[in-house]
Amino acid sequence: MKQEKETGHEQGMQGIRCAHCDLPIEARDELAVAGRTFTLSSMEPMHVRCYAEAAKEFKAVSLGSEPLNGPIYTTKAALAGVAAVVLAMLTSFGPLRWVISAILLIPLLRRAASWVLLERRLPPE
C-alpha cells in the first residue's frame, strides 16, 4: 500500500504532520506554516525548527523570511486588511480601487486560512 505525504488540510483526524520531517506536530507553538505561493494548497505545516532548517537550505528562496502564522506576517496581514478597507471606502479610483483592495486582502485571507485549516486543530501548548 502506497503511503503519501499529506498536507495539513488533507489529514482529517490523523493530526498535522511536518512537511519537512514527517513527524507529528503536537502543539500550536511548534507549528510554522510555510506559504510558498498564494494558493491555499501551498500551505505546508512544519515544526518551527524544521522551518528554520528549510529556510537555511535551498528552499529559503521560496519560503520567505516569516511563516504565515508568525507575529510579523499576522501584523502585515492585519495592516493590509485595514488598508484594503480604507482604500475601498475613502478613495475615488473607480473600479481600480476594488482590484487593489482585493489584492490587499490576499495576506489576510491566507492568514485566516492558516488558522482555520491548521492552527485551530492543535492545542495551544
Q: pLDDT means per 10 residues in the chain (125 residues)?
A: 41 73 93 78 88 74 75 94 91 83 91 92 86
What is the pLDDT, as a whole number, of residue 88? 87
Whether the Cβ atoms of residue 31 and residue 69 lie closer than 8 Å to each other: yes
What is the pLDDT, as a whole number, of residue 55? 81
Alpha carbon distance 55, 42 (integer Å): 16
CB count in 10 Å sphere of residue 9:
17
DSSP 6: -
Burial of 38 (0-12, 13-18, 19+ CB in 10 A): exposed
What is the pLDDT, as a whole number, of residue 89? 87
DSSP 70: S
Alpha carbon distance 100, 79 (integer Å): 14
Grid coordinates standing for 116? 482555520
